[in-house]
Structure formats: C-alpha cells, structure tokens
Amino acid sequence: MLTSLQSALSRIDQLSRISDSPLYLVRTFLSPANLAAASLISEWMRDLGMEVSHAADGTVRGILAGANPSAAPLLLGSHLDTVIDAGSYDGALGIIAALAALEEILAENRTLPYPIHLLAFSDEEGIRFQTTYLGSRSIIGPLDAETLAIKDAQGISISAAISGTGWHENATPIHYSLGECRGYIELHIEQGRVLEEAAEPACVVSGIAGQSRLCITLTGRADHAGTTPMALRHDALTGAAECILAAESLAQSKPPLVITVGKIQIHPGASNSIPQSATFTIDLRHPLDCSRDNALAELYLQFSKIATRRGLALEWIPVQENPATPCDPTLTNQLLHSLTAVTGSTALLPSGAGHDGVILSKICPIAMLFIRCRDGLSHHPDEYASPADIGCGIAILSHFLKSLEP
C-alpha cells in the first residue's frame, strides 16, 4: 500500500498529464482538461469516502462528515486550473496535500470533530476570461451579470461556457454565506525564494499583500538628438529612468514593500530623437494597507520633484487597487503551532501573490501554509517542490487537523 506521500506524488504526476495542449500543461476554466481534472479529483475524494458534488462552473467539493455533521465546517482547498505552460504544483498541490492529510487521519481511524469541506476551485488564474478567482467568487455568491457576460478569445461568454459544457448537468450549487464556516485553510507553493534562502521547508502566511497598479506618463519635448545641448533638454525617458530608480530605492529601504516597473513605452521612439514622452507601469505591494498608502504618497512626492527639476509634466493614473488580506490570528497561530511541531520553525511570511483566500476572507477567517519551491520558480514547467517538503506540508496539515477541538 502506498503511503499518503507516495500517493500524493503520484497524483501530482497524474494531474500534470491532464492538459488542453499536447505540448505543455494548461487547464483553463471549463476546458476539457479542466473538467477531466475535476472528475479525477472527484474520484479521489470518493475513494476517501467523501460525499462529492460539483458546481456548474466546474468547482468540486468533497465533504467528510466528522463527529457532528451538522456543525459548521472547516474549508480546505486550492485551485485546479493552471496558467499556460504551467508547472505541476501551483494549485494542484494544495488540493492533493489536503487529500493526503485527510487520508492519514482516516488511516488512523480518527474522526474529526466537525465536517471538513475540501474544495477544488475551477478557476483562480483567470487565463481564459482574463478575470481572476472565478471559482472562489462563485461560491460566496452568484457571479454578477457583468462578469457572466465576459467573453473569451473565441467570443464565448462565461454564462455560455457554463451552460454549454454539459458539466452543469447534475450540478449542485456550492454556496457559503458569511459566518457559515469556521475558516478556510490553503496550502500553496511559496512561488518565491525566501524559504529557500532561509533553508526552511515551509512557513505560515501572515497575510496577502495589497496591491496598487499605476500608469505613469512623463512628458517633455521631442528634440533633435544632435543639435540640442544636454542643458536644454527635457528628456522624458531619462526622467522616467530616474523615477524608476527612485522607486527601486524606496522599496529597498522599506521591506517587505515591493515595487516593479514591468512595462515602458516611449514616444517617438527613434534613435535620433529625444523622447517626448515615457509611459510606464508601477506595481506596488505591501501586506499593510497603511504602509502601501504611505509608499504611494512618498513615490508621488519623489516623482513630482524629479519631473519639476527636469521640466517634465507628470501624469499619475491609479489603475487598480486591491486591499491587503490579513490572515486570521487564531487560525494562523494554530497553523504555526503545527508548523513548529513538525519542522521546529516559527517562520511567518507575507504572500506577495494573490490567492483564493482573498475571496474566502469575505465570508470566514483564513490561514495559509507555504511550501518551499525550487529556485522560487512558479508559472513555469520547471516548477518543483521536493517530496520531502511536500511530505512536510502534509504532516503540518495533518497535525493541524488532528489538533482540532470540538
């Protein structure tokens, strides 16, 4: 008989072979591979004796009744969709590790005090419709008409995809309202290099960082590159370069603040013209909203000074604003206790990336566990978590579940 770790590793391998492309791993909302993965996960849940149902949007739920089936449940889970040319662990590991932890508990003939609902969300990455968290959003309330009307690249709307796949037959709405659940726990690969640097296999997550996205334009004057002396120039690109370096210094001086300029466009964009305008993006994240606000204010001040000194006009356009999602202190402490019991560590890290917990936090307390991944690599076919670290994650989850009190 396979150990729970061996069966988890085999399941990760099986899921990674279910793809919409023969060339790489990709599973998007309600695609054939997405539904095949959902079916396989349903089978694994049934094998554990769970009561399994699926929602019309492809999310799967397995229920383990526990000693008091009518008590408020604890939710576990992660997402079964992937990015394009994905790795095998992002999302899948959270579902499979939770299954393995429950398998260990059942193998010891233990009964948990209240129901556990294991959720495999059909969409978190948002690849098909360019909108994130569809799976978890639809379990906390029906998707609104505006969202349902969003179309994919083939012109198929979300509502048409839901009613057109056949997966809606025998579907059961999966819905939770505010206060109905004890909490939501998710295990996920870290998708960064902090655990690897710290030589820790796992950590508990303090919260999910808030994020601000901005579009900045500096406008100067397009002049001849040969005839305009340096002192007379209003070069938008060198102004942007100074702003970008100022943003980098600001973030370096205030960890865990992170600021990224991922895109820049200049006009007119010719080798013999001084750039008239430079437009660049800012992605600024911090686990505390007040620190994010302070960083934005500081950045605005510095950009204004740079623009004024260089005779450039500054346009500062906020594009997106997502508040931080703190993890629940009680659940987080319980998870920390299990982390320490298994690894001896007390590592607590913020998550710079968004997760389904952002949505679940609207209806219940949330907590998260991160597992080290090699070289911090994720959203890439070389994404890898070692069997030892996965085993560690399963042991922490299983210790946590065994410690639950009625």
In the complex, the residues that contact Zn ion under the rule CB under 5 A are 90-91
Residue-wise DSSP of 377-403: --SSTT----HHHHHHHHHHHHHHHHT
195 vs 240, beta carbon nearer Zn ion: 195
Give the nearest distance from C-beta 91 to Zn ion in angstroms: 4
In 113-239, the DSSP E strands lie at 116-121, 183-189, 202-208, 210-219
130 vs 163, beta carbon nearer Zn ion: 130
Give the nearest distance from C-beta 392 to Zn ion in angstroms: 19
What is the per-residue burial (b if ≥16 Cβ within 10 Å, else e) of 363-378? bbbbbbbbbbbbebbb
Q: Contact at 8 Å (CB) between 133 and 126? A: yes
What gap in Å lies between CA 159 and CA 152, rounded to an integer?
11
Closest to 158 in 3D by CA, of 28, 29, 27, 26? 29
- List, in sequence order, every residue forming a beta bridge with 214; answer none if it has no partner: 282, 318
Q: What is the CA radius of gyration of the chain?
A: 24
90 vs 389, beta carbon nearer Zn ion: 90
12 vs 307, beta carbon nearer Zn ion: 12
123 vs 328, beta carbon nearer Zn ion: 123
Give the nearest distance from C-beta 180 to Zn ion in angstroms: 24
- Strand 202-208 with 348-351, pairing: parallel
What gap in Å lies between CA 274 and CA 225, rounded to an integer?
6
Token pair 């607590």 in the structure block, residue:
348
Give the nearest distance from C-beta 79 to Zn ion in angstroms: 6
Give the nearest distance from C-beta 350 to Zn ion in angstroms: 16
135 vs 275, beta carbon nearer Zn ion: 135
Give the nearest distance from C-beta 328 to Zn ion in angstroms: 20
Q: Contact at 8 Å (CB) between 281 and 214? A: yes
What gap in Å lies between CA 391 and CA 360, rounded to an integer?
26
Give the nearest distance from C-beta 124 to Zn ion in angstroms: 6
Give the nearest distance from C-beta 211 to Zn ion in angstroms: 16
82 vs 219, beta carbon nearer Zn ion: 82
Element (H, E) at 284: strand 277-286
82 vs 279, beta carbon nearer Zn ion: 82
Cβ-based neighbours of 124, under 8 Å, separated by 6 or more:
78, 79, 81, 91, 132, 133, 134, 135, 136, 355, 356
Token reading at 336: 């920390």
